[in-house]
């Protein structure tokens, strides 16, 4: 459980952390909480979700200038990188988190996310459409056969993306570039 004393230490231990600043009396906060939980569940063991009750932890809330709630902030290794205030649909939150996760993945592997934001958004929409349809984020540029063993290699980032980047300067679907 996070508190005023351990907040910074705890979020620095993790790569990506989504923090939900809320209050128990806030109706939009109550609506957003399960949406965030479901969105983060989609990134199993890649993004952690923490909740901060602004009434119980005023120092943290003050430090991050929480003036309206719900207030959601994505932290990378303890530093805030982006956030939003208010309600958002689950799909929008998932796509927003995906951009950051794939960007982080690219950096860790010494390549980049495509700099064209609309291309990235289109590909990520395709990934989530495939997740809805097939249960996994299969690369939009790969055919889903229905054979789980064969399709497993096409879950983004797919088994061939590094070789494609090395040989062509980008992966086939154009999400990652050299």
CA distance 111 to 107: 6
Give the number of other Cβ atoms within 10 Å of residue 154's Cβ: 21
What are the tokens at 49? Answer: 């979700």
- The Cα–Cα gap between 47 and 57 comes to 22
The phi and psi torsions of 16 (rounded to 5 degrees) equal: -120, 125
Active site residue: 29, 158, 171, 173, which one? 29
Q: Which of 26, 139, 156, 173 is catalytic?
A: 26
**71-76 and 176-177: which strand pairing?**
unpaired
**Between helices 90-108 and 117-134, what is the axis angle to 10°?**
110
Residue 177, strand partner residues:
112, 170
Q: Is 139 a catalytic residue?
A: no
Distance CA 68, CA 117 (A): 28
Residues 6+ apart with CB under 8 A from 3: 56, 57
Residues with catalytic roles: 26, 29
């Amino acid at each position: 459980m996070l508190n005023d004393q351990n907040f910074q230490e705890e979020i620095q231990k993790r790569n990506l952390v989504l923090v939900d600043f809320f209050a128990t009396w806030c109706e939009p906060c109550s609506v957003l909480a399960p949406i965030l939980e479901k969105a983060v569940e989609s990134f199993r063991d890649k993004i952690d979700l923490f909740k901060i009750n602004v009434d119980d932890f005023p120092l943290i809330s003050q430090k991050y200038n929480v003036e309206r709630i719900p207030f959601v902030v994505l932290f990378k290794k303890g530093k805030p990188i982006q956030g939003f205030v208010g309600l958002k649909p689950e799909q929008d939150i998932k796509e927003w988190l995906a951009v950051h996760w794939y960007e982080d993945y690219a950096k860790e592997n010494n390549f980049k996310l495509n700099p064209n934001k609309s291309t990235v958004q289109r590909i990520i929409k395709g990934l989530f459409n495939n997740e809805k349809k097939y249960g996994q984020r299969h690369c939009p540029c790969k055919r889903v056969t229905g054979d789980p063993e064969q399709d497993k290699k096409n879950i983004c980032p797919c088994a061939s993306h590094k070789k494609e980047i090395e040989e062509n300067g980008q992966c086939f679907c154009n999400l990652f570039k050299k």
